[in-house]
C-alpha cells in the first residue's frame, strides 16, 4: 500500500514543531513526510529585533534544520513555495512540484502596511534574518557616515523611527536604546544627538497589556532616551523620513531609518490558493483545517483563531504557533493511522513577556505580573524551553540564552 504523503510548508515555529513531533510519533513506513523551507535554517522570529538592533548576532538566532530532523523520517527540501493548488493536491516550488495527501501550511507572516503611502518602498520591516541584518547594517552605515556628511544632512542619519508601539515595536526600541550608546562610542558621536522615535496611531502603548506594566515600560524606555509619539499616525513615508499627523496637525520627521513594526498579515500564498482569508489569515476549523479542505492544515500566523471569551482573534504569536504544531502533528497521526480521536485546538496562554532590552522586560506569567530582571529572566527561560522542546539539552547549550540575568 502507498504511504500517505504529508507535505509541510515552512520551517518556522509551527512547521518545524509539526515536523519534529511527527518524526517522534510516526514510523518511517507509516508516512512519507516532506518539509519545505526557503532556507537551510530555522530561525527564532521572536529574536529578530535583537539581530536588527545589532545586540545579538544572527547566527545565534538561526539553526540548521538538519540538526533537528531525522533524515530517515523526513525529507527536507530547501526551496521556495510559489503556489499552492489545493484542487490538484499539489504545491509548486521554484525548482519543482510536490503532490500531497495532507498539507500543512506554516509559511508565517508578511508585513501589513495598510496602504500607507511609501512604506513598502522606503521602510524596513523585521520580517526575516536577512531583513534584520539589513536593518543592522543600515543603522551602522548611517552612523559611520555622520562625520563625513554636510551638517544640514547629519541629523537624519542619527534619527531612527519605529512605526508601532505594539509588541515588536517596543521590543525593538528596547534593544535599540541599549545599542545606541555602543554605536555612539564606536563612531565618536554624542549620544544626545541620536533620536529613537516610536510613533503609534493608537492612543496607548502595548494595547492589551496591563496598564501598570505599560507605564513601567514607557518610563524605562524614556529614561533610555526613547521618544514616544502616541495617538500619532504615519501618513506617508518618503526617502527622507515620515509625515505624521496628530489631529489636524502634521509634522515631517527626517530620518534615514524608518522601521515599520505595526502590522502583520498572513502569507499571501494562502490567499492566492483560493482559501477564504482575512489579511492572509484563514479562519481554521477547531482541528486546524481549512474549511472545505479536510486535507489542508494551517499552523502559525496564517491561521486565524477566535478567542470565544471576547470574540476577537487571538494575536499571532510563537506561543500559539508552537502549540498548534503539537496539535496538528497529533491530528495527522490519527488520520494516517485511521484510529484515535482528532483533537480540537485551544490555546493555552501561559503568559506573555515583552522585553525592553536584554536586561529588562515586563510580563504576566501564570497570572503574576513581573517587571525588570525577573521578567527578563522569565523571557530567557521561555526561549530556552522552546529550544529544549525542539532539540533537547544540546540545542539549549548550543543556541540558548545561558546568561539568564
Ligand atoms: P514563522 O516563524 O514566521 O516562519 C515561517 C517560515 O516559513 C520561515 O522559516 C520562512 O523562511 C518560511 N517561508 C516563508 N515563505 C516561504 C516560501 N514561500 N517558501 C518556503 N518557505 C517560506 N511571539 C511570541 O509568542 N512571543 C514573542 O516574544 C514574540 N516576539 C516577536 C518579536 C518579533 C521581532 C517578531 C517579528 C515577532 C514576534 N512574535 C512573538 C510573533 C512570532 O514570532 C510569530 O507569531 C511566529 O513567528 C509565527 O510563527 P509561524 O510558524 O507562523 O512562522
pLDDT tens digits along 383-405:
999 999 999 999 999 999 988 77
Topology adopted by domain 5-38+79-111+264-349: FAD/NAD(P)-binding domain (3.50.50)
Other beta carbons within 10 Å of 147? 11
Other beta carbons within 10 Å of 207? 13
Residue 11: DSSP 8-state: -
Active-site entry in 171, 175, 200, 271: 171
Res 1: pLDDT: 65
pLDDT surpasses 90 at 200: yes
Place of cell 496637525: 249
Q: Alpha helix locations (H) across 243-338?
A: 268-272, 318-337
ipTM: 0.98
Q: Which helix (H) or strand (E) holds 236?
A: strand 233-238
Q: Which of 9, 34, 38, 45 to mutate to test the pocket of ligand 1 (most atoms within 8 A of CB)?
A: 45
Residue 187, SS3 per DSSP: helix
pTM for the whole structure: 0.96
Beta bridge partners of 99: 90
Copy the grid coordinates of residue 203: 492612543
Ligand 1 atom closest to Cα of residue 14: 51
Residue 280: DSSP 8-state: T
Res 186: pLDDT: 97
Helix 372-399 with 318-337: angle, nearest 10 deg: 50
Is 341 considered catalytic here? Answer: no
**Cβ 238 vs Cβ 253: under 8 Å:** no
Q: Which helix (H) or strand (E) holds 64?
A: strand 62-64
Domain locations in the chain as residue ranges:
5-38+79-111+264-349, 113-262+350-405
CA gap 95, 75 in Å, rounded: 15
Res 382: pLDDT: 94
Residues contacting ligand 1 via CB (< 6 Å)? 10-15, 36-39, 45-46, 48-49, 80-81, 106-109, 126, 167-168, 171, 267, 269, 299-301, 316-319, 321
Q: Tell me what the mean pLDDT of segment 148-167 comes to.
A: 96
CA gap 74, 68 in Å, rounded: 10
For the ranges 47-51, 87-91, 206-210, the lowest mean pLDDT is seen at 206-210
pLDDT in tens, 123-132: 999 999 999 9
Q: Tell me what the mean pLDDT of segment 175-201 comes to.
A: 98
Res 2: pLDDT: 84
Q: Which of 55, 107, 378 to mutate to test the pocket of ligand 1 (most atoms within 8 A of CB)?
A: 107
Distances (CA, A) of 206 to 169, 271, 352: 9, 29, 12
pLDDT in tens, 261-318: 998 999 999 999 999 999 999 999 999 999 999 999 999 999 999 998 889 999 999 9
Question: Are domains 5-38+79-111+264-349 and 113-262+350-405 of this chain identical in fold?
Answer: yes
Topology adopted by domain 113-262+350-405: FAD/NAD(P)-binding domain (3.50.50)
Res 403: pLDDT: 82
Amino acid at each position: 500500500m502507498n504511504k500517505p504523503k504529508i507535505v509541510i510548508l515552512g520551517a518556522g515555529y509551527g512547521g518545524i514543531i509539526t515536523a519534529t513531533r511527527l518524526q517522534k510519533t510516526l514510523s518511517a513506513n507509516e508516512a512519507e513526510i516532506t518539509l519545505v523551507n526557503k532556507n537551510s535554517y530555522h530561525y527564532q522570529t521572536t529574536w529578530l529585533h535583537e539581530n536588527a538592533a545589532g545586540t545579538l548576532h544572527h547566527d545565534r538566532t538561526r539553526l540548521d534544520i538538519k540538526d533537528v530532523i531525522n533524515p530517515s523520517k523526513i525529507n527536507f527540501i530547501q526551496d521556495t513555495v510559489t503556489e499552492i493548488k489545493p484542487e490538484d493536491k499539489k504545491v509548486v516550488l521554484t525548482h519543482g512540484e510536490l503532490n500531497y495527501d495532507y498539507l500543512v501550511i506554516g509559511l508565517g507572516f508578511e508585513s501589513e502596511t495598510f496602504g500607507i503611502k511609501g512604506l513598502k518602498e522606503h521602510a524596513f520591516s523585521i520580517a526575516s534574518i536577512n531583513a534584520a541584518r539589513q536593518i543592522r547594517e543600515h543603522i551602522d552605515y548611517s552612523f559611520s557616515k555622520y562625520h563625513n556628511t554636510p551638517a544640514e544632512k547629519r541629523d537624519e542619519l542619527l534619527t531612527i523611527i519605529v512605526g508601532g508601539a505594539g509588541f515588536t515595536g517596543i521590543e525593538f526600541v528596547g534593544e535599540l536604546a541599549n545599542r545606541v550608546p555602543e554605536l555612539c562610542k564606536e563612531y565618536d558621536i554624542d549620544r544626545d544627538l541620536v533620536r529613537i522615535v516610536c510613533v503609534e496611531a493608537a492612543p496607548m502603548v502595548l494595547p492589551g497589556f496591563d496598564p501598570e506594566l505599560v507605564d513601567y515600560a514607557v518610563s524605562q524606555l524614556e529614561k533610555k532616551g526613547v521618544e514616544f509619539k502616541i495617538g500619532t499616525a504615519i501618513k506617508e513615508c518618503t526617502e527622507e523620513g515620515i509625515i505624521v499627523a496628530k489631529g489636524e496637525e502634521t509634522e515631517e520627521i527626517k530620518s534615514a531609518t524608518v522601521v515599520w513594526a505595526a502590522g502583520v498579515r498572513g502569507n499571501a500564498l494562502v490567499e492566492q490558493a483560493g482559501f477564504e482569508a482575512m489579511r492572509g489569515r484563514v479562519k481554521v476549523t477547531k482541528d486546524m483545517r481549512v474549511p472545505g479542505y479536510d486535507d489542508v492544515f494551517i499552523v502559525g500566523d496564517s491561521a486565524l483563531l477566535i478567542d470565544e471569551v471576547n470574540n476577537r482573534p487571538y494575536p499571532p504569536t510563537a506561543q500559539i504557533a508552537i502549540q498548534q504544531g503539537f496539535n496538528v502533528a497529533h491530528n495527522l497521526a490519527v488520520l494516517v493511522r485511521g484510529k484515535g480521536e482528532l483533537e480540537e485546538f485551544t490555546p493555552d496562554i501561559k503568559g506573555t513577556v515583552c522585553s525592553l532590552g536584554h536586561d529588562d522586560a515586563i510580563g504576566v506569567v501564570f497570572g503574576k505580573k513581573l517587571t525588570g530582571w525577573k521578567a527578563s529572566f522569565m523571557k530567557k527561560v521561555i526561549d530556552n524551553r522552546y529550544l529544549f522542546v525542539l532539540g533537547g539539552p544540546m540545542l539549549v547549550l548550543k543556541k540558548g540564552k545561558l546568561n539568564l540575568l
